[in-house]
Amino acid sequence: MQKILSFFPALQNKNYRLFWITGWIALVGFWVQLTAQQWLVYRMTDSAILLGTLSAFQFLPSLLFTLFSGVWIDQHNKRKILVATQAIYIIESALLGLLLFFGYENYYWLLFFAFFCGTIDAFDMPARLAFMPELVGPKALHSAISLNSANFNITRMVGPVLAAFLLTYLSYSSVFFLYALSILPILWTYHRINVNSVPYTGRKKHPLKEIIIGLKVAKNNSIILCDLIGIAIVSGLVLNFSNFAPLFSDRVLNKGLSGFSTILFFVGMGAMLSGLFSATSQNYFSQKKIFIIGLICGFLLILISLTSSFLPAMILFTLLGSAVILFIVNCNTAIQMATPAEYTGRIMGLYTFVFLGVAPFGSLFTGFILEIFGTARGMGIIGWLNIFCLLALGYYYKKIK
């Protein structure tokens, strides 16, 4: 066991090991619920636009609230914030399960609960990211972020397959109840974990002034600024798996729900392998390498759009999952390492703002592209747009570097 732990600097930290293991359980439940929710909406509507609207409602709170939540997180105990967010996740999932149990299977209710869940995310995600340096320290930060991504994507492999199996025997409401139960171990971990999470003790200013200060920190640091813009581009275009994966499975591969879960499995496998590889190192990529990986994401999506054969598509989805995670992990690490400690909450709030906040627009935009041009051609167009936007960013970065 010690030899295995020696490969991953973050896992040598006892608190992080506990966090990582119990987080795995919660993330399996998350992917089961997300797959069930997306397939329920697709079954009800058979519409790329309405499926994209669901994703938009889930990510809209990140656009609305994360700049303010980042200020609030800097001023409060991050561990206690995470205890509260896990408890509210349980309430949200249980209420949605009860709604479906009593027969209120309504698209508008699903939109409401997507927004509710997204509101929790707007506080949980920046708090969790800002908590990570306190949990493992700066030397193991890259390893911890990589392991978090590996964990997220191991469960991305397991969760959709498990969801497809469970939905054969259980109702949608039962799946949401199971997700609520899966959060209990990580809630217990946050109560038990021994980390002295101390908020910023400086003089508090008006929230708007605090936000402006955080924005100036990001604007005046070229690494933070360009990596945030890069994350916004890739997140808004390539990361919309929830939009194009069900359509590609059903309309191109003719595989239905099993194909959808299989796509997510292979995306997760590629991402998991990249995450584990990245977690063995304390170092992160240069800006040039990050930029090249972002371009590769677009090229892989174009290649996927050109195939209608199952095996080549799965190979390409695996490579896409790998490239996307390398891009995100290294952007995240570069941003955190360039951020002064007293601004971590605000910069991670800004990171969440662009990572999830652009998703409503990206989901709607890609949904319209897929509806107008068709699934395969639309995915190709999205891939080319990703490449064009990153090339423009590369030109801009040279100007400000």
Q: Say how far apart CA 164 and CA 275 lie, in whole Å.
A: 25
Chain centroid to CA 326: how far? 13
Q: When comparing pLDDT for 317 and 244, which is higher?
A: 317
Neighbouring residues of 161: CB distance < 8 A, sequence distance ≥ 6? 261, 262, 265
Return the pLDDT at 47.
79
Return the pLDDT at 298.
95
Would you mind telling me the total number of residues written for the chain in this entry? 401
Query: pLDDT-derived band of residue 212, with 50, 70 and 90 as boundaries?
Result: confident
Give me the long-range contacts of 6-9 (CB less than 8 A, separation at least 24): 7/280, 8/143, 8/147, 8/279, 8/280, 9/136, 9/139, 9/140, 9/143, 9/282
Return the pLDDT at 299.
96
Q: When comparing pLDDT for 26 and 150, which is higher?
A: 26
For range 227-248, the mean pLDDT: 86
Q: Say how far apart CA 310 and CA 41 lie, in whole Å.
A: 24
Task: Determine phi and psi for 254, rounding to 5 degrees.
Answer: 55, 45
Is 360:225 a contact under the CB 8 Å cutoff?
no
Q: Say how far apart CA 355 and CA 239 lie, in whole Å.
A: 10
For range 357-366, the mean pLDDT: 77
Q: Say how far apart CA 245 and CA 336 lie, in whole Å.
A: 31
Helix axes 222-237, 207-219, angle to 10 degrees: 100
Using DSSP's 3-state secondary structure scheme, residue 46 falls into coil
Query: pLDDT-derived band of residue 285, with 50, 70 and 90 as boundaries?
Result: confident
Query: pLDDT-derived band of residue 196, with 50, 70 and 90 as boundaries?
Result: low
Query: pLDDT-derived band of residue 204, with 50, 70 and 90 as boundaries?
Result: low
The most confident of the ranges 129-143, 273-287, 321-335, 349-363 is 321-335
Neighbouring residues of 293: CB distance < 8 A, sequence distance ≥ 6? 285, 323, 326, 327, 330
